[in-house]
Chains A and B, each alone.
Chain A
Amino acid sequence: MSSAIAVRDLRKSYDGVEALRGISFEVTAGEVFGLLGPNGAGKTTAVEILEGYRNRDGGDASVLGYDPGDSPRAMRERIGVVLQHSEITPLLTVREAHLLFAGYYAKPRDVDEVLEVVGLMEKRDARVKTLSGGQKRRLDLGIALVGDPELVFLDEPTTGFDPAARRSAWEMILALRSLGKTILLTTHYLDEAQRLADRVAVIRAGRIIRLGTPAELIGDARSIEIRFLKNGEQVVIETKNPTQALNELTAEALATGYELEQLEVRRPTLEDVYLELVDEYDGDVE
């Protein structure tokens, strides 16, 4: 498999503030790659360097074989972009905005099909300025897809989505993946990353502190958690051997005749692991 994105020792400072302190990763063609990290970690900086918006101070970067520092037209023809902040001319209708952008590409997708995919069919004749926050975000998504890109950058694409809209955005991203598209995604929703990303990198203060599949990240982490109420008190047991622990618990409960109220067996989620990771590194930022 060839890599759609390759980054080595990428560095960027803003007036003395080091936003990226040498990050390296590769995104394989056809992969969904997630960038996670707290506010100000450097995710947008990294993504916008790859999109050709910002110049890097050091390191190598390649996007579909192009140097994003030159942002050649051939590269722009093949990428789709959802920025963290941007707007579309507010006086156009949703459909017109899609038509406008479709006209920039050599082989655009059918506009009505894209409207259908992002769930804006009902709003197609509404002016952009009248859309709600979540609907604007769907417009951003639609416009990123209208050029039929093979590589899609999504910087917090589902921020502001209601739960149903988020689910359908996930479906959409998975559908893109099944078409063989490559996706670089940033998000603060760990469940989103866990559901969508083949691999994730956790960035903190301009460095990658962990990189792997969600399962690997969770796997390196802790044990499984068993919770229940005993005489109204919350009891939490952490164990690496849940089968045995449960067996002992239930045997004892049966023998003594009490009920394990609100019994819950929980595997740690990416969110638990992430919070621990970020916490752990809190001390040594500077």
Chain B
Amino acid sequence: MTVLLHQLKFEQRVFWRSREAAVFIFIFPLLLYALLGSIYGDEIDGVPAADVLLAGLFGYGAANTAFGGLAITLVIRREAGILKRLRSTPLPPWTYLATVLLSTLMVFALQAVALLVLGSLAFDASMPANPLGFAGAIVLGVAAFAGLGVGAASLIRSAEGVSAVVNVIVLPMAFLSGSFGPTREFPVFLQAIADVLPLTYFIDIVYGVYLDGESLFADPKALGVLAAWGIAGLAVALKRFTWMPRER
């Protein structure tokens, strides 16, 4: 436990010291929200646009932080031999992974708060109708996307390519799942793709707890699909994750 807190402290220090990570992971969703919030009109389908977009960007933020950020961090650390070096210390591997997860959760929770503050100050967005459910959704989203992130990190081979690969996945997924605005007018086949993406369901869940004041467990199908993706990612990780750089 003390080791976990010790590691978490350094994990956080390293995250905030890394300009690229802090900007790409933390600032970018806020920036997108500011942009989109100024473009869309007052309402989307009778709901305040600021609220709809906020729900969408919570989704994008979760995928970007927990899936994208985590995959990038792990691949870079693995290929540099940073993970390898840790492996021969007494630090238990699971403690390390748990710390990386917790650190990601802290970053995303802070980002969710920042989005709420920005929304309410700049666009008069609502506060969560079900705050506890909303907090639960954040934890759930981070868990599921982190599972996918570790899975992806196990499959991606090179540190040079990892950012590109991650963005090729995250950006289209966010777009199709409605992170950046309604998808109602998308062609049917794109909507069909969206129908299997975890982010679509995560945004549904966020929508429920944030706007409609529903319980976190109101939509079992959405929870099921999201969990299935997270578990699939974890299964890949359990089979393929390595601490050693690929080339050696």
Contacts and interface: CB of A to CB of B under 8 A. Distances in A.
Interface string B1-13: 0010011001001
A91 interface: yes
Interface stretch (A99-107, A184-192, A263-271): A99-107
B88 A87 contact: no
Contacts of A51: 88
A134 interface: no
B89 A87 contact: no
A87 B85 contact: yes
B3 to A, nearest CB: 7
A52 B248 CA distance: 15
Interface string A159-184: 00000000000000000000000000
B84 A147 contact: no
A152 B77 CA distance: 24
Given A53-B244, A96-B10, A101 B84 contact: no
Given A53-B244, A92-B14, A96-B13, A73 B90 contact: yes
Given A85-B248, A89-B14, A91-B14, A79 B85 contact: no
Contact of B3 (A76, A86, A92, A104): A104
Contacts of A81: 85, 88
A105 B13 contact: no
B244 A92 contact: no
Nearest to B14: A91
Contacts of B248: 85
A138 B219 CA distance: 56
Contacts, number: 65
Contacts of B85: 81, 83, 86-88, 143
Interface residues of A, number: 26
A6 B13 CA distance: 41
A91 B90 CA distance: 22
A198 interface: no
A63 to B, nearest CB: 11
Contacts of B88: 51-53, 71, 76, 79, 81
A166 to B, nearest CB: 23
A87 B80 CA distance: 6
A104 B14 contact: no
Contacts of B81: 83, 85-87
B82 A92 contact: no
Interface string A37-54: 000000000000001110
B240 interface: no
B184 to A, nearest CB: 44
Interface in B54-96: 77, 80-82, 84-85, 87-92
6 contacts: A52-B88, A79-B88, A85-B81, A91-B14, A92-B10, A147-B90
Interface of A: 51-53, 71, 73, 76-77, 79, 81, 83, 85-89, 91-92, 96, 100-101, 103-106, 143, 147
Given A51-B88, A83-B85, A86-B84, 13 more contacts: A53-B84, A53-B244, A73-B92, A76-B88, A76-B89, A77-B90, A83-B81, A83-B84, A85-B248, A86-B85, A87-B80, A92-B10, A100-B10
